[in-house]
């Protein structure tokens, strides 16, 4: 019976735990506070004064029609985009490289390096080391292989990553993101246009990762997926947050007309 | 009448070619010396230019700075630098009356390397910027999400763009090894010292020694075909595995 390698081999020794700094930078839970966020491009306001507080646990699903600003909002909170005005705070601290290294992002179109499956994983080991050196700059081959096995890519180490199928590529991107043992996992329509088996596997892994304490923020168009995964729903329309509420309440009693139309499958103008 | 002229010409070309092949096969000492110096000068220039060109290209491709567009336009414009003008400028700088005259580099292989490096650096910088920019456009968000530093980004891009960049280096080498104007001016085409393939071809042709000129030409073309074929095979293989 082979040893089971956990997705996140966290767990510091008692000495390490006691020497671990206690400032909020090292808190496992990362809560988000967004204040008056505005993004303008060429004079057009794409994110319009968004304020929100998102707790550091559970799964927050960001929903809304096309062009609502969901992906832009996700990029703003990860620091990939600079807001025109407003602030993003993680644990009351402005976004910084150290904080961003504790987050991982999975994009709608997986960005895979022109390398083999194994080398894509190894790249993340070497570059994306966590703020505290749990992994270091070297490759943890046992953990890499365990992650690849978990996403169904066992034995595909030497295959060119960009020749995998769409679903396989996205699963590899997810496995690679998990190398960082992120405290926050951001997914930008990560299961759009994937086959049901791949969607199911990604959702299972997202649930496992969340159970290990990682905050999930997931942009999705898929109502079924939002129902299955969501603890909290943020509904956006025209660059604004119209609703931020418990998932059950959102699906049972949406407050805004736009959300009602969206859930009913009507075109929202 | 025309037929006899054509037959005579064909016979001349045939005898020149057979003499040329004879020189190549016999491993003529002068011929090998010229080929060796050509390779030494052009590969040295390529080494220097690749180092500078890749750094410049990578910075232009990945960094946002004031005047970036101007630098890109300038690099593209400098790709077409006239060799004789470069030769003249290097001559002026290295001549006794020039600012670097005291180094006594004029009419040495080093002067030729400098001239060739000046000629091909913009080519390597401009073309590598294009290669790296294309890859960076794809990777940018991922790298940003990892909060990677500039050096790590550039080294990753250079590694992933290695096949395209090899073709870029080849373009630079092709330009360097085929260059005649600049190295003729700064090298002087001195026998056993600065005579390279292209300057030797020009000289031997003017002297009427077509066999040596043709032999050098054959080597130049063969070398070009072999290197191009090798890089193309490498690129095709890389593309098959989606690495290029």
A124 inside domain: yes
Q: pLDDT tens, B59-90? A: 999 999 999 999 999 999 999 999 999 999 99
In this predicted structure, what is the pLDDT of residue B5? 54
Q: What's the pTM value of the predicted model, to 2 decimals?
A: 0.84
Report the 3 state secondary structure along chain B: CHHHHHHHHHHHHHHHHHHHHHHHHHCCHHHHHHHHHHHHHHHHHHHHHHHHHHHHHHHHHHCCCCCHHHHHHHHHHHCCCCHHHHHHHHHHHHCCCCCCHHHCCCCCHHHHHHHHHHHHHHHHHHHHHHHHHHHHHHHHHHHHHCCCCHHHHHHHHHHHCHHHHHHHHHHHHHHHHCCCHHHHHHHCCCCCCCCCHHHHHHHHHHHCCHHHHHHHHHHHHHHHHHHHHHHHHHHHHHHHCCCC
Instruction: Let me know if residue A45 belongs to a domain.
Output: yes
From the list A79, A107, A163, the residue facing B241 with the nearest CB is A163
For residue A21, pLDDT beyond 70:
no
The pLDDT of residue A6 is: 63
Number of domains in chain A: 1
Q: A13 pLDDT band (50/70/90 cuts)?
A: very low
The distance of B54 to chain A (nearest Cα, Å) reads 19
Domain that holds residue A103: 28-263
Is residue A17 situated within a structural domain? no
In this complex, do B160 and A160 lie within 8 Å of one another by their Cβ atoms? no
Note the pLDDT of residue A4.
Answer: 57
Q: Is residue B233 part of a domain?
A: yes
| CA dist list (Å): A85 to A34, A41, A45, B5 | 11, 12, 11, 83
Domain that holds residue B209: 27-240
B20 falls within a domain: no
DSSP A10: -
Q: Distance between CA A252 and CA B165 in Å, rounded?
A: 57
Q: What is the CATH number of the domain that holds A67?
A: 3.40.50.300
- Which range has the worst mean pLDDT, A41-45, A91-95, A144-148, B235-239? B235-239
Mutate to test the interface with A, among B134, B145, B234 (most CBs of A within 10 A): B145
Q: Among A172-181, A194-203, B134-143, B209-218, where is mean pLDDT lowest?
A: B209-218
Does residue B10 form part of some domain? no
Determine the pLDDT at residue A1: 42
Q: To the nearest 10°, the Cα dihedral for A193, A197, A198, A199?
A: 70
Is the CB of A111 less than 8 angstroms away from the CB of B147? no
Residue A226 lies in a domain: yes
One DSSP character per residue, A104-122 reads EEE-SS----SSBHHHHHH
- The pLDDT score that the predictor gives to residue B19 is 82
ipTM of the complex: 0.84
- Total domains in chain B come to 1
A71 domain-assigned:
yes
Write out chain B residues lying below 8 Å of A74, CB-based. none
In a domain, A268, yes or no: no
The string of pLDDT tens digits covering residues A170-198 is: 999 999 999 978 999 999 999 998 999 99
Instruction: For residue B46, tell me if it sits in a domain.
Output: yes
Contacts of A163 in chain B (CB under 8 A): 241-242
CATH of the domain at B132: 1.10.3720.10
> Rounded to 5 degrees, what are φ and ψ at B184?
-65, -40
Q: Is the residue at A178 inside a domain?
A: yes
**Given a cut of 70, is residue A253 above it in pLDDT?**
yes
Tokens representing residue A32 in the block: 């988000």
Q: Taking CB atoms and an 8 Å cutoff, what residues of chain B touch A127? A: 146, 148, 152, 156
Classify residue B4: in a domain, yes or no: no
């Amino acid at each position: 019976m082979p040893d089971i390698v956990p997705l996140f081999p966290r767990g510091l020794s008692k000495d390490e735990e006691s020497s671990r700094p206690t400032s909020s930078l090292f808190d496992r839970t990362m809560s988000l506070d967004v204040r008056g966020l505005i993004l303008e491009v060429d004079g057009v306001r794409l994110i319009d004064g968004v304020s929100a507080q998102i707790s550091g646990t559970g799964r927050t699903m960001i929903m809304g029609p096309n062009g609502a600003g969901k992906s832009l909002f996700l990029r703003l909170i990860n620091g990939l985009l600079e807001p025109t005005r407003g602030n993003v705070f993680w644990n009351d601290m402005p976004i910084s490289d150290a904080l961003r290294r504790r987050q991982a992002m999975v994009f709608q179109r997986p960005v895979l390096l022109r390398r083999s499956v194994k080398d894509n994983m190894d790249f993340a080991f070497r570059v994306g080391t966590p703020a505290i050196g749990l992994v270091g700059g070297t490759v943890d081959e046992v953990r890499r292989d365990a992650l690849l096995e978990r996403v169904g890519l066992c034995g595909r180490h030497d295959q060119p990553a960009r020749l995998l199928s769409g679903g396989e590529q996205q699963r590899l991107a997810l496995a690679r993101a998990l190398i960082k043992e992120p405290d926050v996992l951001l997914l930008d329509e990560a299961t759009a246009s994937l086959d049901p088996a791949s969607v199911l596997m990604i959702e299972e892994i997202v649930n496992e990762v969340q159970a290990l304490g990682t905050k999930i923020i997931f942009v999705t168009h898929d109502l079924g997926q939002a129902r299955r995964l969501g603890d909290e729903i943020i509904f956006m329309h025209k660059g604004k947050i119209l609703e931020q509420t418990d998932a059950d309440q959102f699906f049972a009693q949406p407050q805004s007309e736009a959300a009602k139309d969206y859930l009913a499958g009507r075109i929202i103008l | 009448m025309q037929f006899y002229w054509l037959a005579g010409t064909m016979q001349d070309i045939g005898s020149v070619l057979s003499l040329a092949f004879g020189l190549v096969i016999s491993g003529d000492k002068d011929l090998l010396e010229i080929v060796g110096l050509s390779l030494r000068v052009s590969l040295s220039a390529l080494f220097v230019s690749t180092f500078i060109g890749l750094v410049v290209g990578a910075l232009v491709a990945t960094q946002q700075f004031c005047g970036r567009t101007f630098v890109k336009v300038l690099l593209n414009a400098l790709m077409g630098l006239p060799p004789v003008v470069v030769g003249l400028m290097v001559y002026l700088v290295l001549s006794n009356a020039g600012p670097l005259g005291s180094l006594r580099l004029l009419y040495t292989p080093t002067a030729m390397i400098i001239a060739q490096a000046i000629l091909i650096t913009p080519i390597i910088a401009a073309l590598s910027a294009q290669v790296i920019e294309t890859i960076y456009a794809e990777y940018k968000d991922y790298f940003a999400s990892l909060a990677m530093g500039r050096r790590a980004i550039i080294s990753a891009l250079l590694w992933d763009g290695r096949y395209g960049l090899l073709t870029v280096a080849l373009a630079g080498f092709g330009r360097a090894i085929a260059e005649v104007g600049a190295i003729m001016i700064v090298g002087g085409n001195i026998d056993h010292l600065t005579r390279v393939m292209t300057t030797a071809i020009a000289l031997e042709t003017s002297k009427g020694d077509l066999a040596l000129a043709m032999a050098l030409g054959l080597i130049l073309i063969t070398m070009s075909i072999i290197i191009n074929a090798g890089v193309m095979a490498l690129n095709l293989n890389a593309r098959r595995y989606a690495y290029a």
